[in-house]
Structure 1
Amino acid sequence: MFRCCFGKEEISQIDHQANENPTARTAACHSEPVTCINNMSYGVTISGSQDKTVLAYNWRTGNIIRRWFGHNKEITKVIHANIIRSVFSCSRDRSIRMWQYDGENDDFIREFICHDLVVTGITVNSDNTNLCSGSRDNTVCLWDIETGKAIKRRNINRNLVTHLQWFPKESSNNLIAQTSEDKCLRIWDSKSMEVAMTFPARHNILTYCDISCDGNYVITSGSGVNNQGCDCVMWDVRAQNAVAKFYGHSLTVSACCFAAFDKNLILTSSYDHSVRMWDKNTTDCLLQYSINGAGPITGICSDTDKHFCCSTHADGIHAVHVNTETSVATLKRKF
């Protein structure tokens, strides 16, 4: 069954203004727009910025844990590899860097270089042995993390990669989801590095993807303007088709994720300076968190304790608590 929610009137009734904690404001941790964000551990995020730095920050205590320098252009994506206690970042400088954050020397470990244009997607498998990267040069590359060597590299015409996400171990640790500017969602088999599935093309560019914890569903976010496009779509991996759409944003949806605190909720961030929370099963918009003056919201991640963090172009990073019973969002810290 295909479900779709337009409901502008309904959404306006549940649009909650955030309650701000008076002690929430701290000094900005990045000196330029924040371009990407991800979880690192409980209460800790990693972020990248146009200031060319990667930052690990504990938003619960308000402390900077680490700041890494080395890229010479804007950071595009950041991820965390827990088993090997490392952070990976990719950049418009066409490189991927691996950083150590454990031990006395929390420094640069190695660089992965094979792409000819900006690297726009990176992901690691569950045992942290392989890295997969994608670029606007139409290529996807599989790496051996320990040696830093490229294992396989694949090129598909017009496949300008926008995001990559490895499937969870509990489902199929061989599969990787990938979105593209050619408007397609692809699933790669990491063993052969061949496309295992290609889903029907959308009418707008796909900007991001995330995978449900059971591996049965993939969500994608899409570009758009003036309420055209600007959507999130949920795909059934087994049936290989779209099963739900989430409408309400008025500009490009920059990122999406299944909420870590509730498998039935989806979070989306948008260039319309808002974050929305959706019911996965009904497609209803349950909450809207707007940040006036923030410009585009560039990314979002969530933790298991009913919080999400979103990165913005002009207002740093917001850590927000969600009351799922009342659909009220409260700013806990801005940094």
Structure 2
Amino acid sequence: MGPACSKPPGDIATAAGVAQLPKIHGGAVLDAWCGGDNSVVTAGADGRVVLYDAAAGTAKTLGVHAAAANGVAAARDRAGAVYTCSRDLSVRRWPLARGPTQVIEAAHELAVTAVTVADDGATVASGSRDYRVKTWDAATGENAAAVRVPRNVVTCMCWRPTTQTFAQGSEDLRLRVWDARDLRQAAAQTFAGYEFFPLAVASAGPHLITASKGFGGEGGEVTLWDARRPGSEPLAVLRGHAQDATGVAFLRGGAGAASASKDGRVKLWDLEAGTLSRDVDAGGESPMYTSVCAAPGAATVAAVATTFQGDVFCFDREFRVAAAVG
């Protein structure tokens, strides 16, 4: 993980009366998903998958993987359940209310590093360090298709809203877009030109945005792509993170994008201008951020960021911390 960075100055973003959420994870929180009803689900290095109600200030453990839970995702239109992926080689479905847990054991041969879900919840896609991308029937848990691309060590995934395609980043310095209906050896689209490989990807409308690895002030860029133009130059390359940019999200209502980094910064970007609009200080002791996600709808919680130190910061629409674990 490396040494903690000294905490950088930033826009102190704490709302009055911050709700304290119960601390459940025993270590780093690696990823988070947030719904439109102030629900937040986190995946931890301890294998735990935790559901928070940020408005009520409550939490419960949905279940535990046998190894680190690397990622969490849910359908955009039918978020009755979340999916997680893990170093224990499984993909799991966790109902948010009632219903059975679904486990896809040995989904991959090596650690499952990323998972994403179609808008309608019918298809799940997963990626791994085994160079494979797979799709699954969400109703049955059966493998629908798989493709193996040499050196395609999967680092991140996201579904493209209102389409049957999903994007996938890799350590081979590529961002690929796959058609879930027909996986082939050659991806539907490929975006290249990375100096350091992407660690996170998000999608909105025709655009994709990635956050990349970096260190010592090199890399860590946030890159905006037009998914309608495969092989084209990026629309914008936003620089300012000093270490790995570990998370990125489009903000609701065309309000730009947020990125998070191991350098202790959460940054808000004006994508039209291609400039930094805010540098947010969420608090905590030299936080090393692991993810950031944005919520749909008009709930109090608009975005969530997580850290290696076990923090979970829930931001409101003004990007002030409204609820937190830490």
Match of 1:320 in 2: 315
Whole-angstrom CA distance in 2 between matches of 1:283 and 1:144: 39
Match of 1:109 in 2: 102
Match of 1:86 in 2: 81
Letter in 1 for 2:95: Q
Q: Which moved more, 1:73-82 or 1:285-294?
A: 285-294
Whole-angstrom CA distance in 1 between matches of 2:107 and 2:17: 47
Structure 1 residues 115 and 315: alpha-carbon distance in aligned structure 2, compared to 1, 3 A threshold: closer
Cα RMSD (Å): 2.0
Listed as ranges, the matches of 1:166-185 within 5 Å are: 166-169=159-162, 173-185=163-175
Q: Which moved more, 1:24-33 or 1:118-127?
A: 24-33
Whole-angstrom CA distance in 2 between matches of 1:116 and 1:211: 28
Listed as ranges, the matches of 1:236-275 within 5 Å are: 236-240=226-230, 241=232, 242-260=234-252, 262-275=253-266
TM-score (ref. length: structure 1): 0.87
Within the candidate set 194, 203, 207, 1:217 is matched to 207
Match of 2:56 in 1: 61
CA shift digits 1:53-74 (9 cap, x unpaired): 101111121011x412241101
What is the Cα deviation at residue 315 of structure 1?
Answer: 4.5
Whole-angstrom CA distance in 1 between matches of 2:88 and 2:34: 23
Do residues 73 (structure 1) and 67 (structure 2) align? yes
CA shift digits 1:283-303 (9 cap, x unpaired): 211111133524311111123
* Contact persistence 1:39–1:80 (CA under 8 A): no
Match of 1:6 in 2: none
Listed as ranges, the matches of 1:275-294 within 5 Å are: 275-290=266-281, 291-294=283-286
Match of 1:7 in 2: none
The alignment of Structure 1 onto Structure 2 pairs a total of residues equal to 309
Provide the secondary structure at the position in 2 that maps to 1:24: strand
* Contact persistence 1:80–1:86 (CA under 8 A): yes
Within the candidate set 20, 28, 45, 2:23 is matched to 28
Provide the secondary structure at the position in 1 that maps to 2:168: strand
What is the Cα deviation at residue 151 of structure 1?
Answer: 1.4
Whole-angstrom CA distance in 2 between matches of 1:107 and 1:288: 42
TM-score (ref. length: structure 2): 0.89
Structure 1 residues 100 and 18: alpha-carbon distance in aligned structure 2, compared to 1, 3 A threshold: closer
Do residues 162 (structure 1) and 152 (structure 2) align? no
What is the Cα deviation at residue 23 of structure 1?
Answer: 4.3
Whole-angstrom CA distance in 2 between matches of 1:44 and 1:19: 20
Match of 2:222 in 1: 232
Q: Which moved more, 1:75-84 or 1:179-188?
A: 75-84
* Contact persistence 1:112–1:148 (CA under 8 A): no
Whole-angstrom CA distance in 1 between matches of 2:207 and 2:80: 28
Letter in 2 for 1:246: L
Which consecutive residues of structure 2, in runs of 5 or more, have no partner in the other structure? Answer: 1-7
What is the Cα deviation at residue 31 of structure 1?
Answer: 2.1
What is the Cα deviation at residue 237 of structure 1?
Answer: 1.4
Match of 1:326 in 2: none
Match of 2:193 in 1: 201
Letter in 2 for 1:114: A
Structure 1 segments, 4+ long, off by >4 Å, are none
* Contact persistence 2:19–2:57 (CA under 8 A): no
Match of 2:5 in 1: none
What is the Cα deviation at residue 112 of structure 1?
Answer: 4.7
* Contact persistence 2:90–2:112 (CA under 8 A): yes
Whole-angstrom CA distance in 2 between matches of 1:84 and 1:265: 24
